Structures are given as structure tokens and as C-alpha cells.
Amino acid sequence: MSGLIGQAPRYEFAVDGYVQCLLWSANSDRLCVASAEGEVAMFDMANGHRLWRVDGHALGTASIALATEKDVVASVGQDTQLRVYEAAGGRVVATALLPGWGERVSFSPNGKNLAAAAGREVLIFAMDDLLAANGEQCSPVRRFGPHQSTVTDITWDPRDPGRLAATAYGGISLWLVHAQDDKTRDPERRYEWQGSSLVAEWSPDGRFIATGDQDATVHFWFAASGIDLQMWGFPSKVLELSWDHTSRYLATGGSASPTLWDCDGPEGPRGRTPKELSVHSEHVRALVFSHQTQLLASGDAAGLLALWTPVSSRKPVEQRGALYAVTALAFAPNDRALAVGYADGSVVMYDVFL
């Protein structure tokens, strides 16, 4: 053992195709992996053994979600299908036909609803209906849209499990999942701008919605007022966002240097110079903060994994190299392990020593 992570991974395993998504169970004992080739698999992280695998989605799995309380996994992909599986064994619990290529899927914080973004719509499924479907088709309880373009991302309000933000061309739409009028088709609120946001992350305290944008910018939206700050200077579109657990710091990709934004105070990041973290020689493909500390992990297209304590230092505290691009990163909820996914389909798990 050396430093913050083990000198060598504790476990190594693989899926078919590059790793698209990594999700830990709430008690840190299982890891769900989805590949761009479609495979969805679950691994027991006590011993590194695969519990189950399914072929997933033809043409590729785009997104997965895990509801630990109900022990189910959901996935969407290019085949316009939603599938829900038993997390323990992989049996299909429910399916649904989507109105287009599935972009994102996400369970509400209270586990009562599942949102799926597909085409220009967001579909809401009740958890009770999914569990009662017995492997058959399930119908959504609400449909939000159409949006101006394909919905690119969805993120739940951490303070209100019945409130959802969706990104598309033209800005962000906020939808009330628990609205009493089932005929309602208008969002509660819109944050408008003439551009396309690709990814979105609500800060844990609910103060900001951050977006990474097609035009190589980052937006900070003050959720209460709708005021937005647009940050320029990225060399490419921004697909990587991660808030720290205090909601003070946002880490962004969009270049070979992860960038740290300080959002403290009434003005947030306005007028502040962000901190650039330099060690990567290639574009950052994934980054994530740990859940209980301000330890940040980043991985690039050359296969370099770096760990940072970015609040106190611009230099990495750990580095590990690999032959293939890093495509996904995920800290276990207890922060004692870090899963790293690569473009060749390999996944490694490092112990984390804090």
C-alpha cells in the first residue's frame, strides 16, 4: 500500500466494450457496470465475483440507475427500451417502450419514481407499477415535453424528490412529478438560454444547477432566482461535472486540466479565478469527488488516473497509469474504494485509505 490508494488494484474484471457507467450500491457491497456494447453486469465487491450479466441494449447501453431500497437496476439505450432488473439476480422486472433513443435514466431520491429521458420527452414511472409488472411492459404515469430538442440529461432536486430538471436546447425545464393535475404539460419553470446543455448536476444543497454545454462553456444557474453565470475558456464541450459534498466546489472537465470553481458566498463563482489542476497530457474523460471528503479523482484519454486534494493543492497526490483511456469513475458510498472503468472494458477497484 502506498499513499491514498493501493499500489495495485484489489480486484480486476471486464465487460464487453468500453465502460459507460459505474454505480455502487448504497452499502458499498456491489458494483453495477454498463458497457457501450450493451452489457449490464453486477459484481460482488466483497470478493470481486460477477453476480450476473445481461446483454442489455442493442447498439449500446447509455445510462443505468440503481435503487438500493427496492434492490432494482434500470437501464436505457439506443434500442428505445427501458429495462428494470432485480439487482440481486438480473431477472427482468419490467420493460417499457420509449419514444426514442434512451439518453438518461434516474431514480428519484426517495425511490418512488423513475425518470427516463428519451427523444424530446421525459417519462416518469411509478416504482410500485414497475415492481408489479412481473417482467411485462409498464406505462409511464406522466410524460413531460416535448422539449425543443432531444433531452440530454435529467437531475433530481436534492431537496424535493418530486422535482426534476431536464436539459435540452433552449435551457433547463423544471417539472413537478407530484403535480395533482395529470393533464399538466407545462414545466413549473424554465431557465432559458439559446444553446444546448449536455450534462447537468444539481448541487447537494439545491442552490445551483450546473450544466456542461455544447459551446464549450459551463453554466451556473441560481435555482431560486434563475440568474445564470456562463463561464468560457474551455477548449471543447464540457461533459464532466462533479460537486463536492459541501456544495462549495464544482469540478469540471472540458480540457486536459480539471478545473475547480469556488461557489461560496452570495455571488457564487462570479468574478473568481478558477483553479486549474495540471498533470494530464490528454483530455479528461471522467472526474468525481468522493462522498464525504474533498478528494477528487480524474482520468484521461491516455489512461492516467489522478487523485487530488484540490482545495489545498494544484498537484495530484496519487497517479496510476494504464494502457487505455479512463471512461468512468465512481467512489463507493463509504469512500473506502474507487472503481475505474476503461475503454477496453476493464474495471479495476482500488482500496482508498483516508
The answer to whether residue 346 scores a pLDDT higher than 50 is: yes
Q: Which residues, in sequence order, are bridge partners of residue 137?
A: 95
C-alpha triplet 343, 26, 78: angle, nearest 5°: 40
Q: What HEC string does 100-150 produce?
A: CCEEEEEECCCCCEEEEEECCEEEEEEHHHHHHCCCCECCCCEEECCCCCC
CATH architecture of 1-21+240-354: 7 Propeller (2.130)
DSSP string, 155-183: EE-TT-TTEEEEEEEEEEEEEETT-S-TT
Tens-digit pLDDT profile for residues 136-149:
999 999 999 999 99
What does the block give as the cell for 27? 452499502
- The Cα-based distances of 65 to 46, 83, 86, 121, 266 in angstroms read 21, 11, 12, 18, 33
Indicate the CATH number of 56-238 among 1.10.3720.10, 3.90.230.10, 2.130.10.10, 3.30.70.1060: 2.130.10.10
pLDDT score at 3: 73
Tell me: pLDDT of 1 over 80: no
The reply to whether 56-238 shares the fold of 1-21+240-354 is yes
Q: What is the pLDDT of residues 247-279, one digit of tens each?
A: 999 999 999 999 999 999 999 999 999 999 999
| Distance, CA of 48 to CA of 34 (rounded, Å) | 16
Q: Where are the domains of the chain?
A: 1-21+240-354, 56-238
What is the arithmetic mean of pLDDT over 32-37?
96
